[in-house]
Amino acid sequence: MGKRKAPQPQLSPPTDDQTEPAAEAKPRALVVVESPTKARTLKKLLTRRYNVVASMGHVKDLPRSQLGVDVKNGFVPKYVVVKGKGAILKELKDAAKQATAIYMATDPDREGEAISWHLADALRPVNPDIKRIEFHEVTKDAVRRALHHPRDIDLNLVNAQQARRILDRLVGYKLSPLLWRKIRGGLSAGRVQSVAVRLVVEREREIEAFVPQEYWSLLAALRSDDQQLEARLYSKDGTRYGPPGEDGITVLRTRDEVEAIVRDLDGATFTVGEVRRKDQFRHPAPPFTTSTLQQDANRKLGYSATRTMSVAQHLYEGVDLGPEGTVGLITYMRTDSVRVAESAQREAREYVTQTYGEASVPDTPRAYRSRREAQDAHEAIRPTSVRRTPDRVKPFLRSDQYKVYRLIWERFLASQMASAIMDTLSVDINAADYLFRATGSRVKFPGFLAVYHESTDQNGEEQEGWLPDLVTGDVLTLLGLSPQQHFTQPPPQYTEASLVRAMEERGIGRPSTYAPTIETIKRRGYVRSATRRLQPTDLGVLVNDMLVEHFSDVMDYDFTATLEEELDQVEEGRIDWKKVVGDFYKPFEHDLRIAEQKIEEIEMPVVEIGEACPECGRPLVRKHGRYGEFIACSGFPECKYTRPLGIGVRCPRCQVGEVVERRSRRGRTFYGCSTYPACTFIAWDKPTDRICPRCGKHVLGIHQTARKTTLRCLDRACGYTEAVAPEPVEEPAAR
């Protein structure tokens, strides 16, 4: 199969300036999209000469009741009409019969191409004039350009999607039954999801195996005239002090070692040595890719990857902006490219010049380099027009839409701005044989920082920590020496943001799969989210260990990444999709046969919770079900008592039941009493066993936002709040 064909316009779409008598019905071209939202937007962007219909996603797929892949005859898939889509397909066929032409306008990726291919196959018998159009933003100009440059359906893209679908089906439908037989029913395995679980399990084991190491540092509080500063012990006679793990570093392991240095410094004169002042440039980050958007929205807004993508989908498909009409606010949100169209760069530079001045625009437009394996067919995620500022569109957006749009708008605009210039100062201070060092920095020229901060730092933080004006030879007054105890820290548990980053760095999955993969492993009960940190469950560890032992290829990071690269090569027409599937399946089938023979039935560990069953008196235990862990009677099946898993806090209202975690119809977590409906206590904040110190009646609950965690009284009328020390946050990936 050759390279992707260049667009071949053959059909002439109706022009937007054509008009028709209102009383006379004219034949119309049919435009097919996936979603109703996108269809509504296109209807408002196009004239009445177009009929826009939504397919509601895939109309054909592999059957759910069987494997649906003929492994003995070239892995030929058996596609069937998706349940419930028969009426939609009939509507599409009826519309196609009357259409002058059919334009497949599904999303510009493998999945969208496959949907178009299935639709074209179904509609071709009633109307063969079918073309594919592709646009990366839902705006009038972009859609008009696409209609005037239709192309054929790209079979390389279709084959790449088909290969992924078949590979995932083979793994899921072959491995899952093995888990049912060896562990318990209802479990599932997946080509990407199982590797993601492995990442979480291995990180947890790193944390469990970590042995903290104690070390100390020494701070000197000093004064110059009426200004104070802090300096840290840096070295002695050229030998550096520092934490464990760095070569050539002397580690102060005990307080006694630090106290000995304090005694050495008794009566010492603290004199300013070398003063170094220089400009340091901070460069803006590239515009968002799918991965970096999910990471930033998780760190700054507390949004899951799934929620972020759902909001971004609506922003892409179109929002009603009142007088301006309905328009897509961002470009396509599934991309791993940081490329930006020249027209968008020009608009951004003009806006920055007008708003922030010429100095805030770099001499030449910024160009960023995508990851080596990135697919460059799409642009980065950016606003379709920087003139639609967040404040301008805010009245028309939901709160979450506004927050995500603001992130995208600010990140893109900043990516086209000048670098910030930091004024940095480093001062060496001599005392006896010891060298102390103080550093400070402040913003000299804000550049892109006037718009966007990549980390979660508060605006203006760069202004803090500036040092007094010091000159070599100045004598400083010692106010005190403070020994500081430290312990090395284990690697942090994954957040959704850092797990997405780890998957991207290892080449596991692609932009379209990060969010559904994380959602799947949480839903299956392999991973739980606690205070926004991902922890493997006992079930997740058990399944992971079995798969790692018996399916080393499927669970191997490099093997999974190589398979993703081969799917990319299928998309480029360089490899036949059947070869990719066949090369994977042959060793996989062998491992499956061996595992079936070797693996004995595994009993899930039964953990008693130290409580008697209220119905029969036998011990209650923790069990794993299709929807996660729960509490059940150990006397099952004679006694069928069950209840949700509690959080270890007694119900503050009835003092009988335990507080349990529940989910609302919209998936939001809340907390209730295990004795419901006898007790109707509910709370959005996670209750603790601490009584409010202000009212003395109610307990405190853990309230989390994107930026901080607080304890607050569950009685809103009381209003008591208390700050909670933040957990260490993993730094964003270096670029």
CB 351 within 8 A of CB 360: no
Strand 607-612 and strand 326-327: the pairing is unpaired
Helix (H, G, I), strand (E, B) or coil at 538: helix
The pLDDT, as a whole number, for residue 733 is 34
Binned at pLDDT 50, 70 and 90, residue 627 comes out as low
CB 28 within 8 A of CB 99: yes
H/E stretch holding 555: none
Distance between CA 236 and CA 435 in Å, rounded? Answer: 6
H/E stretch holding 611: strand 607-612
The pLDDT, as a whole number, for residue 142 is 95
**Mean of pLDDT values over 596-624:** 85
Task: State the DSSP code for 387.
Answer: T
Binned at pLDDT 50, 70 and 90, residue 21 comes out as very low
**Mean of pLDDT values over 169-197:** 91
The pLDDT, as a whole number, for residue 8 is 39
Angle between helices 36-45 and 305-317 (to 10 degrees): 20
**Mean of pLDDT values over 321-340:** 93
**Mean of pLDDT values over 570-590:** 95
Catalytic residues: 332
Q: CATH topology for 214-283+420-487?
A: Topoisomerase I; domain 3 (2.70.20)
> What is the signed CA dihedral for 143, 147, 153, 157, rounded to 10 degrees?
-30
Distance between CA 143 and CA 122 in Å, rounded? Answer: 24
Label residue 566 exposed, middle or buried (CB < 10 Å: 0-12, 13-18, 19+).
Answer: buried
Residue 733: phi and psi, rounded to 5, are -60, 140
Strand 29-33 and strand 50-54: the pairing is parallel
Query: In the predicted model, is pLDDT for residue 463 greater than 50?
Result: no
pLDDT digits (tens, 9 = 90+) for 494-509: 999 999 999 999 999 9
Which residue intervals of 272-383 are DSSP H helices?
290-301, 305-317, 342-356
Angle at 86 between CA 81 and CA 87, to 5 degrees: 160
The pLDDT, as a whole number, for residue 600 is 86
Supply the mean pLDDT for the chain.
88
pLDDT digits (tens, 9 = 90+) for 76-97: 999 999 998 999 999 999 999 9
**Mean of pLDDT values over 338-344:** 94
**Mean of pLDDT values over 223-237:** 93
Distance between CA 250 and CA 119 in Å, rounded? Answer: 68
Please provide the CATH number assigned to the domain covering 170-210+492-598: 1.10.460.10
Query: In the predicted model, is pLDDT for residue 458 greater than 60?
Result: no
Distance between CA 534 and CA 503 in Å, rounded? Answer: 14
**Mean of pLDDT values over 34-54:** 93
Query: In the predicted model, is pLDDT for residue 542 greater than 80?
Result: yes
The pLDDT, as a whole number, for residue 500 is 95
Helix (H, G, I), strand (E, B) or coil at 613: coil
pTM confidence score: 0.82
The pLDDT, as a whole number, for residue 628 is 60
**Mean of pLDDT values over 58-77:** 94
The pLDDT, as a whole number, for residue 601 is 82
Q: What percent of the chain has pLDDT over 90?
A: 68
pLDDT digits (tens, 9 = 90+) for 379-411: 999 999 999 999 999 999 999 999 999 999 999
**Mean of pLDDT values over 597-609:** 81
**Mean of pLDDT values over 268-274:** 96
The pLDDT, as a whole number, for residue 23 is 37
Task: State the DSSP code for 383.
Answer: B
H/E stretch holding 138: none
Sheet of 29-33, strand order: 50-54, 29-33, 102-104, 130-132
Query: In the predicted model, is pLDDT for residue 2 greater than 50?
Result: no
Amino acid letter, 579: K
- Mean pLDDT check: name the lowest of 132-136, 466-470, 533-537, 722-726: 722-726
Query: In the predicted model, is pLDDT for residue 523 greater than 70?
Result: yes
The answer to whether domain 170-210+492-598 and domain 290-415 are alike in fold is no
Task: Please list, residue by residue across 153-168, b when 16 or more beta carbons sit within 10 angstroms of its beta carbon and e when fewer do.
Answer: bbbbbbbbbbbbbbbb
**Mean of pLDDT values over 596-605:** 83
pLDDT digits (tens, 9 = 90+) for 671-704: 888 778 888 899 988 888 788 888 888 888 888 7
Binned at pLDDT 50, 70 and 90, residue 358 comes out as very high
The pLDDT, as a whole number, for residue 720 is 87
61 Cβ contact partners less than 8 Å away, ≥ 6 residues apart: 79, 80, 82, 165
The pLDDT, as a whole number, for residue 459 is 38
pLDDT digits (tens, 9 = 90+) for 106-127: 999 999 999 999 999 999 999 9
Q: Where are the domains positioned within the chain?
A: 29-153, 170-210+492-598, 214-283+420-487, 290-415, 606-639
Query: In the predicted model, is pLDDT for residue 22 greater than 50?
Result: no
Q: Identify the CA nearest to 724 among candidates 695, 700, 698.
A: 700
Residue 420: phi and psi, rounded to 5, are -80, 150
Distance between CA 332 and CA 136 in Å, rounded? Answer: 5
When the candidates are 1.50.10.100, 1.10.290.10, 1.25.60.10, 3.40.640.10, the CATH number that belongs to 290-415 is 1.10.290.10
CB 509 within 8 A of CB 564: yes
Binned at pLDDT 50, 70 and 90, residue 623 comes out as confident
Amino acid letter, 75: F
Binned at pLDDT 50, 70 and 90, residue 240 comes out as very high
Please provide the CATH number assigned to the domain covering 29-153: 3.40.50.140
